[in-house]
Chains A and B, each alone.
Chain A
Amino acid sequence: MFLALRELKHSKTRYMLISLIMVLIAWLVLFVSGLAKGLSSDNASSIQNMNADYLVLDQNSDHRLSRSALTGDALEQVRLAMGADAAVNSSDRDASDTAMAEPLGVQMSAVTQAGSLKKIDATFFAVEADGMLAPKVTEGRMIGADAAEEVVADSSFKAEGLKLGDIIEDQTSGRQFTIVGFSEGQSFSHSPVLHVNFAAWETMQASGPRAMGGSGAVGEVSADGGTGEVSAAGEVSANEGVSAAADSSADGGATAAGEVSATGEVSAKEGLSAAADSSADGGATAAGGASTDGAVSAAGEVSATGEVNGAGEGGAGVVFNAIAFKGSGSTAAEVGAQVSGVDVISKAEALKGIPGYKEEQGSLLMMIAFLFIIAAFVLAVFFYVITIQKINQFGVLKAIGAKTGFLARSLLAQVLSLSVFSLAIGIALTYGVSAVLPDSMPFELNFSLVGGSALLFLVVAVAGSLLSLYRVAKVDAIEAIGRAA
């Protein structure tokens, strides 16, 4: 440090220039990192913030949430498998964890505010209102457990002029929902998330599209094995909203997304579970969309035929996209082994399955990586040139008794103090700029990101000085003799 600081002080211009370059690089690194992080959460914060460790998806879904379709059977099997694992590893988990597997419905759609024609991209997440996947409500209240017409919206909807109590209409199903609460940091594939419960999810699945055209309409199907009292007559278009229905159709059954004529007092849930079960029989799936005011009679009738085993849990009978659970890697392995036809993936893998997420992050990551490489080379070249210029001086220093270690420490001290100085300014600039950025710009910096980048920057700086260190080590004290400097 004796030499390092004195030289920095003496050759201010020279070292100011190099730190200016490093400030700019550090600034850019941090800025792009913040942008990458911001885009990442703008894209997929609902998955990142999800209170779960693993997701179970349909095996043929290519790890994409939107392509996956699972039924209540899978949920039961996952819970069984987790229970078995918990029994084996009972020492490190309590029994309540066995219930920590919940269904998750994901449907990308567009909504309009009631009375307006302007469409807003949105993604519906169906969760159990009192379950672990329920979002944290920052304003208003959580959706009711059975209320089929309530949503909790991401706070970015506020920017669209929506507020508590406003009514929005799903463009796919035509269902209307009341915003009862707002959540923070809930987005999926760059669209804000609307959380609904499974009661609402079922009605959405059942209603079928209204405005999307009739392509792929199933037409009228009377339920196989039913009593004939289920007159299914819905129109289904083959879009994402009803992909679940389409999938079970591919199993050989006919899908009736229809309105069930309502006579009895059976709740929609039961009616739907009946439908799922008949699907298991190879028959038609009647995804009956019971409007809440009209009760479903079909369920009771089907039950009479013995094909209903009763759906006690919300959503157990409906088709959803994924099952989320908390647990360790061993639990995940256990579930993967015991439940057939599914893939168990971590949240990180699920993120990659979000359309565009991997590509977006990949290109930004490449930019950051290149910036680090550039930083290393700029430093390497600069210090190498300076070292070469000073070879004679190093010779003198070695002749008067300075060891290579002393000179190496001196060089490293210079590199590190320049880097720390540049980083400090770079960080300050980054925060300064982020303060004046508009809110709509996806930019997010947190301490660990800044700290991590700064640390990596220092490592890169030291790596860049290795070449110079090698030269310093090779300098022979004899250089000092017989030379007129």
Chain B
Amino acid sequence: MSTMTKEQDVKFWARSDSNGDSKLLLDQVSKVYGDGDAEVKVLDRVSLEVKAGEFVAVVGPSGAGKSTFLSIAGALLSPTRGRVLIGGQDVSKLSGSELNDVRLAKIGFIFQSANLIPYLTIRDQLLLIGELAGKPKAESKKKADALLERLGLGHRLTRYPESLSGGERQRAAIARAWMNDPEIILADEPTASLDSERGRDVVQMLADEVKHRGKAAVMVTHDQRMLDLCDRVVYIEDGQLSEV
């Protein structure tokens, strides 16, 4: 139901407006780089809806537009055409600073090889999010400790990323992504630097959390072994999105 033709648009919108649990909605989104003859269309009229409790995998060859897709869904990039709604809010026309606030409030990111801040302890990685959002310290601390405990990092609170294993780092990254109670989690190849067993653990953990919290997640991956853990798999190639 996520990829649609033009004729389906009207029907889709009528239904989506009545349905409040749409966490992410991309509507006819195109992204074009350059102009005139040098124009490159990276995304071509892509539409996707992710609902609460859904875990969607996006697969496709390199250069197909996966990163651009994730950037637009993650409010890092504004689309050339089309609309992007995150948790019901249209973010396609917002300024850079407003996009910052949207990311802080509604989106959790998990990047390749964790991208934790090297000089922060695991607990501080999470507290930083509270700091950015201006939340009270005690509240953040309680929440961070609970999250890390839940993800099996309760004994690693004061360690630095450099002393953790790859799997632990990615779990810390997942905890960080949940820290701001986002509407949606966007994961950019979270298993790229892990062996398959640990990678599977991490993705399993992500899937469990999505179900547990009733939020949504989109994971870009090229690791076929993880796909069975996802609710839906969409395929992206040459800027076009299709359901598998």
Contact = CB atoms under 8 A, between A and B. Distances in A.
Interface of A: 2-3, 6-7, 9-11, 392-393, 396-403, 406, 476-478, 480-485
B128 A481 contact: no
B16 interface: no
A481 B71 contact: yes
The interface residues of chain A, by DSSP majority, are classed as: helix
B120 A6 contact: yes
Interface string B88-122: 00000000010011011100010111110111100
A484 B193 contact: yes
Contacts of A401: 100-101, 103-105, 129, 132-133, 180
Interface string B230-243: 00000000000000
Nearest to A7: B119
B128 A3 contact: yes
15 contacts: A393-B118, A396-B111, A399-B103, A400-B109, A401-B100, A401-B101, A402-B100, A402-B104, A480-B109, A481-B67, A481-B71, A481-B188, A484-B113, A484-B193, A485-B113
A9 B77 CA distance: 34
A485 to B, nearest CB: 5
B131 interface: yes
Given A481-B76, A485-B115, A6 B133 contact: no
B192 interface: yes
B160 interface: yes
Contacts of B157: none
Contacts of A477: 76, 100, 103
B185 to A, nearest CB: 12
B176 A478 contact: no
Contacts of B97: 403
Counting chain B residues whose Cβ lies within 8 A of the other chain, the interface size class is 35 or more
Contacts of A3: 117, 119-120, 128
A204 B67 CA distance: 94
B103 A400 contact: yes
Given A10-B160, A477-B76, A481-B74, A399 B109 contact: yes
Contacts of A398: 100
B124 interface: yes
Contacts of B111: 396, 399, 480-481, 483, 485
Contacts of B188: 481-482
A2 B118 contact: no
Nearest to A480: B111
B76 A478 contact: yes
Contacts of B112: 482-485
A482 B42 CA distance: 15
Nearest to B179: A400
A478 B117 contact: no
Nearest to B127: A2
Nearest to A8: B119
B70 interface: yes
B216 to A, nearest CB: 18
Contact of A399 (B76, B124, B131, B193): B76
